[in-house]
Amino acid sequence: MSEERAFHDLLNGVLTGDISRRDMFKRAAALGLGASALTTLGLAANILPGTGSLVYAQDATPEPVTGGTLRVGLQADPAAFDAQVSSATALWRVAEHIFDTLVRINPDLTVRPSLADTWEISEDGVTYTFHLHPGVTFHDGSALTANDVRFTYLRLLDPALASTSASDLASIKGAMAFNGSTAADATPTSDPAALRDAVGIVAVDDVTVEITLEEPDASFLSTLANASTAIYSQAFVEANNNDVSQVTNGTGAFKLDEYIPNTSLKMSRFDGYWDSPRPYLDGIEFTIAADDTARTGLVVQGSADFIQYTPLRDVDTLQANADLKVLGSSNTNIRFTGFNLNREPLNKLEVRQAISKVTDRAPMIESSVFGHGTAVSTIFPPDYWAALQVEPEAVDVEGAKALMAAAGYPDGFDTTITSWSEYSFLSNAAIVLQEQLKQIGINAQLVMLDAASMIQTVYVDKVFDLAVTGTSGYVDPHGLVFDNFGTGSGGNFVGYSNPEVDDLITQGKVETDQEARAGIYQQIQTILLQDLPWVNLFVANQFETMKTNVFGYLHIPTGSDITLRESFISGE
């Protein structure tokens, strides 16, 4: 079979939905297809099967060309650039163009090399040896070394930084002992310096890093693609007294030139970028447009070439615009109501069950994501390999009232719902929930906060009752489950603790057979449905919209825009 025939057969299978995104990349690699063909297939893979809408792909993708500045509409202000201090998604949607991690995530959610060209894993699954790409430099011209990798990871774990993402590296030998070395309950003999030195991260030489885990961890490689593990220059961080929230020096494709809070950012091409000839663009100019109407207006009126988080109410209209193309599909995200389990009466299971019974997801999906979402009662979407296949329960107001009475609140109570003012897909869901709770006498005051205040209030200070929020970007289930439901985990803002779940989390981490792992995570989801630390609401689709002369961009289900590094502008 000729390469051209093989390409067209593969393309047709992708467009009809007969070939999955994962199988597409495997078959393309086996056929030895070129970069242009892979780009076209990547675009086609983002068509929703059965839509027949070729707005998502083009008949031919030109060869990459250099030059031009891409104008991008951002959904939210990053506020800062240190992903080890802040876990805000908006931060990483900017920082991922400035920094690199050891590995990256492909559009099919597999792991690919980045700063680490290759790696070996010991037979017992405990020791990882990473070989860095030679000749990598930071934006200031200094060389990347294995010591920078070690420094970065130890900084994330350092209890003095108090990072809520420190658990990302919990699998590393000695990591959590060091991370807790200044905790109030630390033993008097704890020596922070000694505990730091005992962490299983060794710079073997300038280009080799050896990492030893406490035990096998099937999620470890994908975790190293997380925002929190972007590699920093030790010299630069130390020169800035460990405060790099407003200054940057990465190894990424672009350098930060200007940042005007709540307004704009400008980046220019890093000529010393290690993955030449990328980036093809001379630069990226970001306009911060949190308002959905404003962001859509940017690309429709021609003030932007690309917008992230395409407002879901506008997707159908934008798809019909001949000057634009829309990429996207379902993403690895979950939107939910989280309960502060340390507050009465939300610490009562019957109250949480009552709230679950009056939660009607259909109007939430309509008002929040304009129908571009899937109602769920579990943490994973139905098409995810570890999902528990259960349907959300039907609304039962009378049953909810009975539960409220059993909990001692037959007339309801007053409470608050805290959510994100900058994310309409969450704030709208909070408004709907507020109305639904009135059916059982719960009068909830809405507290809408900007990103920085939301993170501080809910995730750090934990001053909230109910929170309508979300999480996204996971690849492996372990990170999502451990961070949010592991006892004492930094991301476990609701205060959930169940020894059985903790044990299952450990089992899921060390198990390497995917079918067996799926069974473990399904057990966890079953318990979570019984304990209800969250009421899961929906999984939202996510789309990016761009002009038809923008090529090379591939949608990644984690929400990452990192493929702007491979993007280029060709033609008018």
pLDDT of residue 164: 83
Q: With a cut of 60, say whether residue 35 has pLDDT above it.
A: no
Report pLDDT for 192. Answer: 83
64 occurs within a structural domain? no
Mean pLDDT, to the nearest integer, of 106-127?
Answer: 93
Span between the terminal Cα atoms of the chain, in Å: 36
Within a domain: residue 90? no
DSSP string, 485-507: HSTT-TT-TT----HHHHHHHHH
**Arithmetic mean of pLDDT, 167-192:** 77
If asked whether residues 376 and 494 sit together in one domain, one would say: yes
pLDDT at position 329: 79
What are the backbone dihedrals phi and psi of residue 395, each rounded to the nearest 5 degrees, phi first? -65, 135
Question: Would you give the DSSP letter of residue 512?
Answer: -
Asked if residue 312 and residue 443 are part of one domain, the reply reads no
> Where does the pLDDT of residue 15 fall: very low under 50, low under 70, confident under 90, or very high at 90 and above?
very low
What pLDDT does residue 331 have?
Answer: 83
Spatial contact of 419 and 337, defined as CB atoms under 8 Å apart: no
The answer to whether residue 222 sits within a structural domain is yes
- Determine which of 90-99, 174-183, 238-247, 471-480 has the lowest per-residue pLDDT on average: 174-183
Strand partners, 442: 413
Same domain, 441 and 501: yes
Alpha carbon distance 3, 43 (integer Å): 19
pLDDT score, position 280: 97
- Identify the CATH number of the domain in which residue 555 sits: 3.40.190.10
Give the domain-ending residue among 172, 205, 239.
239
Does the pLDDT value for residue 397 go beyond 50? yes
For the ranges 86-90, 365-369, 445-449, the one whose mean pLDDT is highest: 445-449
162 domain residue, yes or no: yes
Q: What is the domain-level CATH number for residue 535? A: 3.10.105.10
In this structure, is the dihedral angle defined by the CA atoms of residues 415, 421, 426 and 428, taken in order, positive or negative?
positive
Residue 181 pLDDT exceeds 70 = no
CA 290 to CA 76: how far, in whole Å? Answer: 5
CATH of the domain at 233: 3.90.76.10
The region of weakest confidence among 22-31, 280-289, 413-422 is 22-31
Residue 565 and residue 446 in one domain = no
Extract the tokens encoding 179: 């991370």
Q: pTM for this structure?
A: 0.75
Nearest CA to 248 out of 96, 146, 473 is that of 96
* Same domain, residue pair 274 and 411: no
Mean pLDDT for the stretch of residues 361-380: 94
At residue 237, the pLDDT reads 98
Helix H, strand E, coil C: the string for 362-425 is HHHHHHHHCCCEEECCCCCCCCCCCCCCCCCCCCCHHHHHHHHHHCCCCCCEEEEEEEECCCHH
Identify the burial level of 63 via C-beta atoms within 10 angstroms of its C-beta, where 0-12 means exposed, 13-18 middle and 19 or more buried. Answer: exposed
Residue 293 lies in a domain: yes
- The Cα–Cα gap between 330 and 337 comes to 20
Average the pLDDT over each of 8-22, 63-77, 170-184, 377-391 and give the range with the smallest value. Answer: 8-22
Same domain, 135 and 203: yes
Residues above pLDDT 90, as percent of the chain: 76
> Does 11 or 53 have the greater pLDDT score?
11
pLDDT at 56 > cutoff 50: no
> Are residue 433 and residue 413 in the same domain, yes or no?
yes
Instruction: Using the 3D structure, point to which of 207, 239, 271 is the last residue of a domain.
Output: 239
**Averaged pLDDT of the chain:** 89
pLDDT of residue 45: 44
From the number of C-beta atoms within 10 Å of its C-beta (0-12, 13-18, 19+), residue 313 rates as middle
C-alpha distances out from residue 401 to 299, 358, 408, 443, Å: 48, 9, 11, 14
Q: Confirm whether 474 is domain-assigned.
A: yes
Average pLDDT estimate for 163-173: 91
Q: What is the mean pLDDT of residues 447-471?
A: 94
Do 45 and 105 lie in one domain? The reply is no
Residue 402 belongs to what domain range?
Answer: 333-541
For the purposes of burial, counting CB atoms within 10 Å of the CB of 474, is it exposed (0-12), middle (13-18) or buried (19 or more)?
buried
Query: What percent of the chain has pLDDT above 70?
Result: 87
Residues 278 and 396 in one domain: no
559 in Cβ contact with 543 (< 8 Å): no
Q: Residue 46: pLDDT band by 50, 70, 90 thresholds?
A: very low
The amino acid present at 341, given as its one-letter code, is L
For residue 91, being part of any structural domain is answered with no
Inside any domain, residue 359: yes
351's tokens:
């109250």
Please give the C-alpha separations between residue 49 and each of 54, 74, 304, 366, 370, in angstroms, as whole numbers. Answer: 11, 28, 29, 21, 19
| CA 419/CA 416 separation, integer angstroms | 10
Given a contact cutoff of 8 angstroms between Cβ atoms, the answer to whether 369 and 538 are in contact is yes
Do 384 and 509 fall within a single domain?
A: yes
d(CA 72, CA 49): 28
Phi-psi region of 556 (alpha: psi -120 to 50; beta: other; left: phi over 0): beta
Q: For residues 220 and 211, give the distance between their C-alpha atoms in angstroms, rounded to a whole number.
A: 11
In degrees, to the nearest 5, what angle opens at C-alpha 129 toward C-alphas 125 and 132? 145
d(CA 66, CA 71): 15
The total domain count for the chain is: 4
Between 203-217, 340-354, 374-388, the lowest mean confidence (pLDDT) is in 374-388
Are residues 181 and 144 part of one domain?
Answer: yes
Q: Are residues 205 and 294 both part of a single domain?
A: no
